[in-house]
Every structure is written in C-alpha cells, then in structure tokens.
Chains A and B, each alone.
Chain A
Amino acid sequence: MNVKYMFSLIAVIVLFLLAYVGVEAAGLQILFGIVIPYVALLVFVIGFINRVIGWARSPVPFRIPSTCGQQKSLPWIKSEELDNPHTTMGVIARMFLEIVFFRSLFRNTKATLSDGPKISFNLEKWLWLGALAFHWSFLTVIVRHLRFFAEPVPFWVQLLEKVDGFFQIGVPGIFISGIVLLAAVFYLFLRRVIIPQVNYISLSQDFFPLFLIFGIAFSGILMRHFAKVDVTGAKELAMGLVSFHPIIPPGIGVIFYVHIFFVSVLLAYFPFSKLMHLGGIFMSPTRNLPGNTRAVRHINPWNYPVHTHTYEEYEEEFRGKMIEAGLPVEKE
C-alpha cells in the first residue's frame, strides 16, 4: 500500500461522493451544473494566464537551449538544424515536433547495470507511446465534446466522430479515443506503481490527475454505454452554459453531474498543478531559444551596473607610491 496514491484515490472518491450525494440527496443541481462549472472555468483561465505571465516575468540568465546536436559554427562543419536550431524557423520546427510528437520523450533511455560492472543504456519507448496515446486521445475526446457546446454542430466535429466511431460496435457506437484514453491513463498509473524508481519519485500530486482523468473517462463511458443519461438534456445544459442562459433540464442522470463536477475540478486544479506543462512547454527556455551562442551575444537581463576599477585607474591612483616602492608601472 502506498500512501501517496491512496491519498489521491481517496480524494477522487470523496469528490465523486460529493457530487453524487449533492445531486441525488440534496438536489443541488444548480450548484453542480451551473455555479461550479462557471467558477472552475474562470479559475482555469485567470489562473492559467497568471502562471504564464509569471513565467514571462522571469529573466533567463543565459541562452540555455538543450543541445542535442552540433551547433551552427563554421560553414564546413555540419550542424543539426532540428536538434540545435540557430534560426527562428528552426526553433518553430523543433517546438512543433516537441509539442505534437514529444520528441524529447522519444529519447528516453533506461540504464541497467549488469555484471562487470557494466552499464548499458537501452531504448525505452513505452512512456513515449503511452504519452502519445494519452494526449492525442484526450484531445480527440475534448474536440468531440464540442457537439454538446455548439449548435449547429460543426462539420469537422461530426467528421471526427465518424472517424473515431469507425468500428461501429454497438449502439451507441464505441469511440476508439475513449477506450485508448482509459487504457493510457491506466498504463501511466501502473508505471508509477510498478517501476521502483518512478514510484520513488511519484507524489500524490502525480497520482491525483491520473485518477481524476480516469474518473472523467470512466463516468463518460458509463453514461454513453451503461447507465445512460438523457443526451438532449445534457446538451441543453451545456448550451445553456455557453450561451449564458443557464438552465437545468429535469431528469438528467446523476452520473452526468459527477462527470461535469470531475471536469470542473480538473479545470480549477489545472493552473496550480503540474498540468500547467500545457503552457509551460511553450515557455521553456531549453526548447524555445535558438542555439546561436556562437553568433549572438546574450546579455543577462538582470545585469546591473557593476562598479569597476580597471588597472589603468588603479595605476593612476597609486602611481606615485608604486614608483617609490620600485614597482614596475606601465606609464611613467
């Protein structure tokens, strides 16, 4: 038993009970369906901007791009354009590949010690694969949800639904993204539990978002396939929120409120957590600075005027005494 993940698991269970009891027993539909989502969205937007501005105010003392290849120097030395870009276009290309394909995770290696003692570094692609599966399926799920937040539903949302529901299994048909998301979250949780080194550095704030997202995906799939809720009612509520005419249609199942409460908690928690890597990836100097230290001088932004005393000034001050003492001077 691990205290860190039990703490997070219990937190998510308590959140579930809060929403379940709040709606089912106390009838707080307005609180969970209207007030909390609005507050959560406000906290998310303001908190997010605040964090990013905070980072933008932090000066970067050196040019510190991570250099994964030869920097541009002399014309006859081949430089690595993507791994050590020296132009803005190169940086944009690197950022794009980083954000879309997680190239730095692809470099992940696993060190093992064998007899000898001999250390060997092996490729370890599971984290990269799991992260890709997780982020892309999550994005797909979010875009798909626009069908609840837009009337008429844009054609590209319907197109995505069609591709996502390609297998046409069951009615309502299963979405590939939902299953991949659930599986990927579960994998990302398992690796934090099973791999000893990763387990050692995992804290409750690493587990909490995993459990929360698992809860979101699970309650969503539950609503679609098992404990069905009134979909038109759900859309009415969502449309009420985005058109600022909030209403609570009667008779939407309680799981819907659990789902929307989980999402609200995720949004409100976002700016204060590691999830801020969504904004942080754009702000990280190791990624977004060009590796052009050989060509451009980078001046530390917090440099302040330092009181200097050059040798010329020193000699000027003590010349008489230096000559008296027989010390050599540059100017007589």
Chain B
Amino acid sequence: MSEEKKIYDKGKVLTGLILFVVILAFPFLYNSGKAAPAPDRILTEKAKAAKECIEPKAFMKSEHMQILNDWRGSVVRDGKRIYVSSSDKEFDMSLSNTCLDCHSNKADFCDKCHNYASVNPYCWDCHIDKPKENK
C-alpha cells in the first residue's frame, strides 16, 4: 500500500529531526575537522636540571591536585610541612615555594593543560601573585 508510506506532518517531523542532528553534530561542527592535540608544556631550565619532580611524572600528571589538596590539609590543620616522597626525599609542602620554584612559568606549564581540559583550580585565587612567580 502506497498510502502507508506517507509521512504525516512531514514538515514538522523533518524540522525536528534536522534540529536533533544539528544538536548532535555540534562538537563536529564547532571543531570543523581541526585536530586539537594536547598542548606541550614547557619546562623551565631549573625543572629540566632537576630531571624528576617530587614523584614520577605519570603519577604527578594525574595526582598533583590530590597531593596539593593533602598538603593544604596537612599544613593548615596539622602544621606538618615536610613531605617525604616515595623515593625518600624530603620536600617543603608549599605550592609557592616548592612547586612554583621549579615550575615558575605558570602560563606555559600549569595553564597549558588546565585551559585545554577546562580546569579552573582555585589555587590561583591566592597563589598567583607570589613573588616567586615570574613569567
């Protein structure tokens, strides 16, 4: 039966479906085929010379925020400022004086990935204008 093949309210249904596809295609259209590889972080000379951060690189990559959060609790609540790393080295628990000492290039190091992944940590609410920080 040819009558069964008829699409009722064709205009409305097709408009709705086109809208559906356009909404779904938003990420494809927005980026329009441009690849967006992860940004390269730039290490300062000091960081390069130190070779390794307080913990191995892969661990730092995924856990640095956790470490900083633990440090904050430890320093602010317990007054304990010494961090002993997995390789038995001691570090002062301080974002401004330990982390940013080597990684003094926030814009080229921290912000690169944070912006890429749309992460806006409130660390920088206070720690951004420390004297150690230079661009």
Residues of A within 8 A of B (CB): 45, 48-49, 52-53, 56-60, 146-154, 157-158, 161-162, 168, 170-172, 228-233, 235-236, 239-240, 242-245, 247, 249, 251, 253, 279, 282-283, 301-302
8 A-B pairs with CB atoms under 8 Å apart are A151-B116, A152-B115, A172-B119, A231-B62, A233-B38, A236-B37, A243-B31, A244-B33
What number of B residues sit within 8 Å (CB to CB) of A? Answer: 44
Of the residues A49, A231, A239, contact of B36 by C-beta under 8 Å: A239
Interface string of B86-117 (1 = CB under 8 A from A): 00000000000000000000000000010111
Identify the closest chain A residue to B24 (Cβ). A45
Residues of A near B116 (CB, < 8 A) are: 151, 232, 235
The distance in angstroms between the C-alpha atoms of A186 and B27, with both chains bound, is: 30
Of the residues A58, A59, A228, A239, contact of B31 by C-beta under 8 Å: A239
Residues of B within 8 A of A (CB): 3-10, 13, 16-17, 20-21, 24, 26-28, 30-39, 58, 61-63, 65-66, 68-69, 113, 115-122
Contact between B36 and A56, CB atoms less than 8 A apart: no
Contact between A147 and B13, CB atoms less than 8 A apart: no
Contact between B8 and A232, CB atoms less than 8 A apart: no
Contact between B8 and A301, CB atoms less than 8 A apart: yes
Contact between B63 and A228, CB atoms less than 8 A apart: yes
Residues of B near A146 (CB, < 8 A) are: 26-27
Q: With contacts A158-B118, A162-B120, A168-B122 known, is A53 near B33, CB below 8 A? A: no
Of the residues A49, A57, A243, A283, contact of B33 by C-beta under 8 Å: A243
Q: Which 6 pairs across A and B sit closest by C-beta, in order of nearness?
A: A149-B27, A151-B36, A228-B62, A147-B118, A153-B118, A245-B35
The distance in angstroms between the C-alpha atoms of A318 and B33, with both chains bound, is: 79
Give the one of B27, B34, B65, B113 with max A CB within 10 A: B27
Tell me how far the C-beta of B61 lies from the nearest C-beta in chain A, rounded to whole angstroms: 6
Residues of A near B117 (CB, < 8 A) are: 147-148, 231-232, 235
Identify the closest chain B residue to A150 (Cβ). B30
Contact between A282 and B16, CB atoms less than 8 A apart: yes
